[in-house]
């Protein structure tokens, strides 16, 4: 910021001289005003290095140099991007071992204004709701680029925000684990979030299909609360939630959402439709034993199904891979029955995605540099669906090289 100030002075002075004036006193008066303003700005920069120049100071400076305000406005927009290369090996009982190489590329623009924040993001991949990976091959064909996010955050006051559009999921994922929501799932709708002291509340609705023309119009309603507490040296996050998806009689909302994904669908009339609604209650707890060791537990039950309607995960995180040279490790055990939740939205990696999976998942992460992370994931699970009633072994090995730039 110090380097830009002399430039602003030169431009401002040039602007003034170029305008010209026969009135020497008027020119002296304007230069005196400029000198006073510059001294004020220099003092402020010396007091608090790196802070944004106040609006009133920018306004005054603009009268002499419009370029200054344009630069300040542009600084409100930030660009973020990341790139990931992945090797994947899948062993499913009864099938040959499958290997593939994949990539994911994402870029986002974030505008932070005085009255709202706006986010626009693109990502590689097809139209899957829970994956932006693109498999390499096809003779080097061009890969798809899709709209990943487009939403605004509007603060109603200091505690309440409104989020609207296609957004990063505001619902809390205990342990950052995808028992109910895949990390890449972007709900499309409206949410309210609030935080007061130790309590957080998130409520909203999002569309699975909003166009009544398709005869399959359906929204999901969600409510989740979390309380932060402390027992001795242990920090706790305790939460309850509920979401409602009345899908009985509805057709699938995406071509990949078939009975193989986990939820039962009745196809006896030539068109497959869901047989159950999903009114899911959840309870979760996270315990931060130290700054680098925490455990989590997440339990759900679909009250609209009579059987195969529960799910849970127990996990432990050790370390945080934030800085170069850091290691992190996660171990988790999951059991997710077929009718416990909406299969379309769950973690797409565990047991092939969807519901009907049980087993362990281990993740090892290493931060090689400030911009490069290496992650190794291994899951050893069993998968049960309505077309494979007997549990089938399902093993997955994933090696990721992730870069931010």
Confidence of residue 45 (pLDDT cuts 50, 70, 90): low
For residue range 139-163, list pLDDT tens digits in order: 999 999 999 999 999 999 999 999 9
pLDDT, residue 5, reads: 43
Q: Looking at the predicted structure, is the pLDDT value of residue 41 above 70?
A: no
**pLDDT, greater one: 218 or 18:** 218
Q: What is residue 16's predicted lDDT score, i.e. its pLDDT?
A: 45
How confident is the model at residue 390, as a pLDDT?
85
pLDDT band, residue 72 (cuts 50/70/90): low
- According to the model, what pLDDT value does residue 388 have? 82
Predicted confidence band at 244 (pLDDT cuts at 50, 70, 90)?
very high
Residue 284's pLDDT is what? 98
pLDDT digits (tens, 9 = 90+) for 106-129: 999 999 999 999 999 999 998 999
Q: pLDDT-based confidence at 31, cuts 50/70/90? A: low
Q: How confident is the model at residue 3 (pLDDT cuts 50, 70, 90)?
A: very low
User: 53: which 2 tokens?
Assistant: 């120049």
Domains of the chain: 4-73 (no CATH), 79-404 (2.40.160.100)
Residue 263 has pLDDT above 70, yes or no: yes
Give the confidence band of 323 by pLDDT, cuts at 50, 70, 90.
very high
**What's the pLDDT at 21?**
47
Spatial separation of the C-alpha atoms in residues 81 and 403, rounded to whole Å = 9
Residue 197 to residue 383: CA distance in whole angstroms: 42
Residue 69 — very low, low, confident or very high, per pLDDT cuts 50/70/90? low
181 has a pLDDT exceeding 90:
yes
On whether the CB atoms of residues 347 and 224 are closer than 8 A, the answer is no
Whether the per-residue pLDDT at 23 is higher than 60: the answer is no
The per-residue pLDDT for 40 is: 67
CA angle 24, 28, 32 (to 5 degrees): 175
């Amino acid at each position: 910021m110090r380097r830009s100030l002399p430039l602003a002075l030169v431009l401002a002075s040039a602007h003034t001289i170029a305008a010209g004036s026969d009135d020497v006193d008027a020119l002296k008066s304007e230069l005196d005003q400029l000198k006073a303003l510059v001294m004020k700005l220099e003092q402020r920069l010396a007091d608090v290095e790196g802070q944004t120049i106040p609006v009133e100071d920018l306004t005054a400076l603009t009268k002499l140099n419009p370029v200054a305000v344009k630069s300040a406005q542009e600084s409100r927009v930030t660009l973020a991007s990341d790139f990931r290369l992945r090797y994947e090996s899948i062993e499913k009982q009864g099938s040959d071992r499958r290997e593939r190489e994949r990539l994911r590329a994402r870029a986002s623009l974030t505008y932070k204004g005085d009255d709202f924040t706006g986010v626009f993001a693109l990502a590689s991949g097809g139209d899957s709701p829970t994956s932006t990976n693109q498999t390499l091959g096809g003779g080097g064909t061009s890969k798809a680029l899709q709209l990943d996010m487009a939403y605004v955050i509007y603060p109603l006051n200091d505690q309440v925000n409104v989020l609207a559009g296609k957004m990063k999921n505001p619902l809390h994922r205990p342990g950052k684990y995808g028992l109910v929501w895949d990390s890449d799932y972007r709900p499309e709708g409206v949410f309210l979030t609030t935080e007061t002291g130790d309590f957080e509340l998130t409520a909203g609705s999002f569309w699975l299909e909003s166009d009544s023309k398709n005869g399959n119009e359906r929204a999901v309603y969600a409510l989740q609360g979390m309380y932060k507490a402390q027992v001795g040296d242990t920090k706790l996050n305790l939460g309850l939630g509920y979401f409602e998806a009345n899908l009985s009689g509805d057709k699938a909302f995406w071509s990949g959402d078939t009975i193989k994904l986990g939820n039962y669908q009745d196809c006896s009339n030539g068109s497959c439709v869901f047989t159950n609604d999903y009114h899911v209650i959840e309870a979760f707890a996270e315990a931060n034993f130290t700054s680098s060791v925490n455990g989590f537990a997440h339990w759900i039950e679909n009250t609209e199904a009579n059987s195969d309607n529960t799910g849970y995960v127990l996990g432990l995180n050790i370390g945080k891979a934030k800085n170069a040279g850091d290691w992190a490790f996660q171990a988790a055990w999951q059991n997710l029955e077929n009718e416990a939740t909406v299969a379309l939205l769950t973690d797409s990696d565990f047991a092939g995605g969807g519901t009907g999976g049980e087993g362990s998942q281990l993740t090892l992460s290493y931060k090689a540099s400030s911009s490069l992370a290496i992650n190794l994931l291994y899951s050893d699970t069993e998968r049960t669906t309505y077309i494979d009633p007997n549990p089938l072994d399902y093993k997955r090995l994933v090696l990721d090289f992730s870069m931010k730039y």
